[in-house]
Chains A and B, each alone.
Chain A
Amino acid sequence: MYAQLVKSEGLKSREEMSPQEQAFQDRVDNGEKIEPKDWMPEGYRKTLVRQIGQHAHSEIVGQLPEGNWITRAPTLERKAILLAKVQDEAGHGLYLYSAAETLGVSRDELLDKLHSGKMKYSSIFNYPTLNWADIGAVGWLVDGAAIMNQVPLQRTSYGPYSRAMIRICKEESFHQRQGYAIMMKMAQGTPEQKDMAQDALNRFWFPSLMMFGPSDKDSVHSAQSMAWKIKINTNDELRQKFVNETVPQAKYLGLTVPDEKLEWNEEKQGYDFSEPDWSEFFEVIKGNGPCNRERMDARVKAWEDGEWFRDGLNAYADKAANRRKAASVAAE
């Protein structure tokens, strides 16, 4: 997901909780929203900062692989749609950073942690977009996987996070459809276009499955996050749901999901499928994905090159405020 391997706190039993913690857990259990000024366990706050921060980072790093193709989009309409979509990702980053800021951390601090490698973003954005069908595949598969996770997160316990997710889900509803629309054009187009579409699916299938994070049995941090309703579904649940929904969509396109073990399982009413190569996943997380360096370099460069711009506008705002003050003093 956009937030993978978020380090959470160990699950406390009811007996281990202080009365304050018990009261907090009761509120969460009753479906009450926790708001910024409410008391909250320090672990809850920290986990949220990590998760929302990572989610926000994923949005803005996620601008890069798709942004790649804005200047190469094949028609004016496609260019406008793609630009609007990538712009939305920037907006989503902005909403999420704002939500994190209600927890007592500033956006610049979070960005600093991203730039210094102390905070992560989703592994998926370290894969390259090599042909135009990749733009379709990213919308269809990557946004599709993200939506799987984000829709339930609208019910998360933390008010500002929940509200950001509601806004994001509303805006994101067109993203997956525009991706699929590109895939339809490509899959039904010339033989070369169809090759591009199949190539994109081949490359993005397993990385998309990795987005949900490692299998539940290896996911040590889930229990507490689920008790706090920061995480709503398990990784495996969401992955299975994604595969169940996506395979028929691929069939409609006439494309082949690159998994020989893929098979409908009547008993579980879902597909059996191969696990992604988790060693690849951990390498990508460690920084050894195909584009980790490019992505980080681009973000750091944008931030450093922008420093004079941000400072210049700050300096003007200060001067203007001083001038207004001087003018009002003179008028008295």
Chain B
Amino acid sequence: MSKKEWPLWEVFIRGQHGLNHRHVGSLHAPDAEMAINHARDVYTRRREGVSIWVVPSRDITASSPSEKGPLFDPAESKTYRHPTFFDIPDEVGKM
């Protein structure tokens, strides 16, 4: 085994102009510049991207699964944030 493993990176790719970068997977690389090259070689072999982000996996802070209830349930009751909550008469036209 090598003395030190190449760090793990998370790869985000913008598939088309105008879209968000999306997480596509991970890879190993000694540093950020090489991680970009590796991401190009590994994750865009079928023209999947126009832009790449790489982030060291260890720098990602994730929400805790046990907090899922308090974090996300409150949004469920706020149905008035959605347009379908409001009845507008058809005569008014498109809104």
Touch test A–B (CB under 8 Å) = yes
A311: contacting residue among B2, B25, B42, B64, CB under 8 A: B2
Residue in A closest to B46 when the chains form the complex, CB atoms: A171
Residue in A closest to B5 when the chains form the complex, CB atoms: A108
* Interface residue stretch chosen among A33-41, A121-129, A193-201: A33-41
Is A112 touching B30 in the complex (CB atoms < 8 A)?
A: no
- In the bound complex, residues from chain A placing their C-beta under 8 Å from that of B6 are 310, 313-314
Is A98 touching B26 in the complex (CB atoms < 8 A)?
A: yes
A91: contacting residue among B1, B42, B65, CB under 8 A: B42
* Interface residue stretch chosen among A58-66, A140-148, A316-324: A316-324
- In the bound complex, residues from chain A placing their C-beta under 8 Å from that of B2 are 108, 307, 310-311, 314
A-B contact count (CB 8 A): 56
Task: Give complex CA distance A108, B1 in Å.
Answer: 7
Task: Give complex CA distance A310, B25 in Å.
Answer: 21
The minimal Cβ–Cβ distance linking B34 to chain A, given in whole angstroms, is 7
Is B25 touching A37 in the complex (CB atoms < 8 A)?
A: no
Q: Is B45 in contact with chain A by the CB < 8 A criterion? A: yes
Binary flags per residue of B30-58, CB closer than 8 Å to A gives 1, else 0: 11001000000010011000000000000
Is B26 touching A101 in the complex (CB atoms < 8 A)?
A: yes
Q: Is A206 in contact with chain B by the CB < 8 A criterion? A: no
The minimal Cβ–Cβ distance linking B26 to chain A, given in whole angstroms, is 4
Q: Is B28 in contact with chain A by the CB < 8 A criterion? A: yes
- In the bound complex, residues from chain B placing their C-beta under 8 Å from that of A241 are none
Is B1 touching A317 in the complex (CB atoms < 8 A)?
A: no
Q: Is A107 in contact with chain B by the CB < 8 A criterion? A: yes
Residue in B closest to A308 when the chains form the complex, CB atoms: B2
In the complex, chain A residues 12-62 whose Cβ is within 8 Å of any chain B Cβ: 35, 37-39
Task: Give complex CA distance A156, B27 in Å.
Answer: 22
Residue in B closest to A163 when the chains form the complex, CB atoms: B25
A107: contacting residue among B4, B28, B46, B64, CB under 8 A: B28
The minimal Cβ–Cβ distance linking A20 to chain B, given in whole angstroms, is 12
Is A35 touching B65 in the complex (CB atoms < 8 A)?
A: yes
- In the bound complex, residues from chain B placing their C-beta under 8 Å from that of A35 are 65
Is A101 touching B8 in the complex (CB atoms < 8 A)?
A: yes
- In the bound complex, residues from chain B placing their C-beta under 8 Å from that of A220 are none
- In the bound complex, residues from chain A placing their C-beta under 8 Å from that of B65 are 35, 37-39
Task: Give complex CA distance A244, B65 in Å.
Answer: 44
With A37-B62, A171-B46 already in contact, the answer to whether A320 and B4 are too (CB < 8 A) is no
Task: Give complex CA distance A314, B3 in Å.
Answer: 10
Q: Is A181 in contact with chain B by the CB < 8 A criterion? A: no
Q: Is A167 in contact with chain B by the CB < 8 A criterion? A: yes
Task: Give complex CA distance A159, B31 in Å.
Answer: 27
> What is the interface of chain A, defined by CB distance below 8 A to chain B?
35, 37-39, 84, 87-88, 91, 94-95, 98, 101, 106-109, 111-112, 163-164, 167, 171, 307, 310-311, 313-314, 316-317, 320-321
Report, nearest first, the 10 A-B pairs whose CB atoms are least far apart. A317-B30, A317-B31, A98-B26, A313-B30, A108-B5, A38-B65, A310-B2, A314-B30, A112-B1, A37-B65
Contacts A94-B25, A94-B27 known; 12 new A-B pairs at CB < 8 A: A37-B64, A38-B65, A87-B45, A91-B42, A101-B26, A108-B2, A112-B1, A164-B25, A171-B46, A310-B2, A310-B30, A311-B3
What are some 14 contacts across the A-B interface (CB < 8 A)? A38-B65, A94-B25, A95-B25, A98-B26, A98-B27, A101-B26, A108-B1, A164-B25, A314-B2, A314-B4, A314-B6, A314-B30, A317-B30, A321-B31
